[in-house]
Amino acid sequence: MADVEQTASVPDGSSNGSDAVNGTAARFVSSAEGTALAYGSLLLMALLPIFFGALRSVGCSKSKSPSDMPETITSRDAARFPIIASCTLFGLYLFFKIFSQEYINLLLSMYFFVLGILALSHTMSPFMYRVFPANLPNKQYQLLFTQGSGDSKEEIVNYEFDTKDLICLCVSSVVGVWYVLKKHWVANNLFGLAFALNGVELLHLNNVSTGCILLGGLFVYDVFWVFGTNVMVTVAKSFEAPIKLVFPQDLLEKGLDASNFAMLGLGDIVIPGIFIALLLRFDVSLKKNTRTYFYTSFLAYIFGLGLTIFVMHTFKHAQPALLYLVPACVGFPVLVALLKGELTEMFRYEESSPEEASSKEEITESDKDK
């Protein structure tokens, strides 16, 4: 949802809202190589969580583990989301205008410190299971919080984990401390990528119609708040949290201490990403051993984001990426389905929420017992 932007501010948002969107003209003129590297890196970083998040969403939809259970978005949720997002965005804008930016960002830093550690740990866990030495003991642990006693005892937290999960948590905590203390753009991106991948993996649209409602509503939301007001750009610059991916355009000149950043909001990754992941699960449901709609939408995303960057660089103005991503990510797969005669089948595809799926399994088992 946040725009694709070219800015001279550091990723912790220390610049104020009056800075020009393309403030590089007055401070630093990026080289063509530096600009190309920044845009190419943003594009690559956007593709990674979509691709791997979509693949993991297929296994996640079949998982019965509470920690891997997806959150299903219905058509009602999709219709309300742009309104809720607008209220949240404008509320943050007012907060930054009325209250001290320093104290607000301190609270946000601690909040995202905890969330970032959990998200990065969950992202790393599949890789840790592959590289963890087989000869090392992998002990099991359980974190249990209850309320009350006897028959009235109620579980509040019941989390099971093992040694591998603890290692992931420790590594993620190191990144978290680095982010809180330094606000370094690399730490910001590690948390941002983790948030994006977890979003694509764990947020599931229940059908294509819901995806069209969500993307259509956020299309209007993005265009209004970027072109109609300065709210989106102001919040993006003031918000000290890993809600955007950044990459320095002066990396070649200043190395890791670079400060002239191009940025991409996580909403521009997660929102199209959950639609692309839905199309991958639709491909799997067809049982044709092809991934036509996934690859079509994935290539459409590359085209849409590339077009966004091109327009932003040409006109030197922040762009609402969903203005280009939504028509591409929805239009190309629908066109392919129309040509293949599978449009009706695509829009009839339905995913059940975990609760509905489990209740259906219980009903089926009870019918078998009878």
- Could you give the residue numbers annotated as active site? 222, 268
Tokens of 180: 């809180």
Please tell me the distance from the alpha carbon of residue 200 to that of residue 197, in angstroms, as a whole number: 5
21, 260 in Cβ contact below 8 A?
Answer: no
The DSSP call for residue 70 is: P
User: Based on C-alpha coordinates, what's the Rg of the chain?
Assistant: 22
Q: Residue 339: which of 292, 279, 302, 303 has the closest Cα?
A: 292
- Which residue reads 């030197």 in tokens? 316
199, 273 in Cβ contact below 8 A?
Answer: yes
Torsion of the alpha carbons at 307, 196, 215 and 59, rounded to the nearest 10:
120
| Backbone torsions φ then ψ of 5, nearest 5 degrees | -140, 150
3-state helix, strand and coil shares in percent for the chain, rounded to the nearest 5: 70, 10, 20
